[in-house]
Amino acid sequence: MQARIRIVEASNEGFAVDPMLRDVHGQLGSLFSFTSYRLLRDIHLGLVGNRPVEVPVHPGRSVEVTLIGEYKNLVELRIRIKREGVSVLNTHVRLVSGRTILIGGPRHGEGTMIFAISARF
């Protein structure tokens, strides 16, 4: 199963939206009250059942994604955001193929990190 994590910096510095985020700009604007969204990283992961994949996102911070279940029309993922190796967020999400969920993350520079997570199967 292929997952994609886009790490976004959201801030009120300017009024720009990274062209690589056009597909989720409406979601970002409806959930978060920032004026600028910049793509920091675009990560593609191959996930296998119950094997966590951890991705560093900022010094001392990481996101861990684990495929918990695969069903006919959706997958279930466990998402953990870690600071210094300790989970600060531990949640389960269900994704339909091609859909994106957004998770607000830690402060980053003058703004906040947002994780845009999607899957293809």
By the 10 Å C-beta count (0-12 exposed, 13-18 middle, 19+ buried), 8 is classed as: buried
- Gap between the Cα atoms of 94 and 99, Å rounded: 10
d(CA 116, CA 7): 7
Give the model confidence (pLDDT) of 63-115 as tens digits. Answer: 999 999 999 899 999 999 999 999 999 999 999 999 999 999 888 888 999 99
- In terms of Cα–Cα distance, which of 49, 100, 101 is closest to 91? 101
pLDDT in tens, 21-44: 999 999 998 999 999 999 999 999
Q: How much of the chain exceeds pLDDT 90, in percent?
A: 88
How many other C-beta atoms can be found within 10 angstroms of the C-beta atom of residue 40? 15
Query: What stretch of H or E contains 105?
Result: strand 100-108
